[in-house]
Amino acid sequence: MPKFRKRPVIIEAFQLTAVTRADNSTWPEWLNRAWQMQLEKPGCVAPWYAGAGDGPLVIFTLEGPHRAEYGDWIIQGVKGELYPCKPDIFALTYEAAD
């Protein structure tokens, strides 16, 4: 069976924590734009349930809604798409590019 290696790409990512969820002043611009988008539009980020001022977020993707919990990373991919990634998978897959 053929084997393939993932091409090295640089992504932007932001870790969701209780602190960063409560205070969006440290959010990157792309995440703030996603917060302002029309609800349920792919690329939109919103509270997991209506009226929630804290707690998990939902990221609407072309594949449907995905939940981002505290500790998860929110990744902006190479085409600007957003998706959550669990911290253990993030640590195995990504390293700092700076």
Q: Where are the domains of the chain?
A: 16-93
Q: Residue 60: what pLDDT?
A: 95
pLDDT in the model for residue 92: 93
User: Token pair of 81, please?
Assistant: 């798409």
Render pLDDT for 16-41 as a digit per residue (tens, 0 to 9): 999 999 888 999 999 999 999 998 89
What is the chain's alpha carbon radius of gyration, rounded to the nearest angstrom? Answer: 14
pLDDT number for residue 9: 87
Report whether pLDDT(50) > 70: no
Output the pTM of the full model: 0.86
Q: Are 90 and 73 in contact (CB under 8 A)?
A: yes
- Average pLDDT on 64-76 reads 96
In whole angstroms, give the CA distance from residue 7 to residue 66. Answer: 25
